[in-house]
Amino acid sequence: MERVLDDLDKDRIIEMAWEDRTTFEAIQMQFGLKEQEVIDLMRTEMKPSSFRMWRARVQGRKTKHEKLRDFAKGRFKCSRQRQINNNKISKR
């Protein structure tokens, strides 16, 4: 049975698929679409040139797959990002 997605859901899925750090597993958890279904949605909703650019970008990218991520480093965090404690930004 195919799930019917409204335009807002499609827009959000496309946005999440373009984001480097959003995994396909996160999209599946939120919307119930497997990786191949996301690829099919992107193919039908985007211009062919945009789809090819997106596919080249995400193909084999470690950040798009939970299993390929290096968990020793943990969640990505910029070295210049400040810690937030008790609603205050700590100083270095």
What total of structural domains would you count in the chain? 1
pLDDT, block means (10 residues), the chain with 92 residues:
80 91 88 93 94 88 66 52 54 54
User: Residue 26 falls within a domain, yes or no?
Assistant: yes
pLDDT the model gives residue 72 = 39
Which distant-in-sequence residues (6+ apart) come within 8 Å of 76 by Cβ? 21, 63
pLDDT the model gives residue 79 = 59
Q: Bin 86: left if φ > 0, else alpha if -120 < ψ < 50, else beta.
A: left
User: Residue 32 falls within a domain, yes or no?
Assistant: yes
Q: How far is CA 34 from the centre of its chain?
A: 12
**Residue 33 in contact with residue 13, Cβ under 8 Å?**
yes
Cα distances (angstroms) measured from residue 23 to each of 12, 19, 28: 13, 9, 9
* The pTM of the whole model exceeds 0.75: no
- Which range marks the domain in which residue 41 is found? 7-69
Share of the chain above pLDDT 70, in %: 66
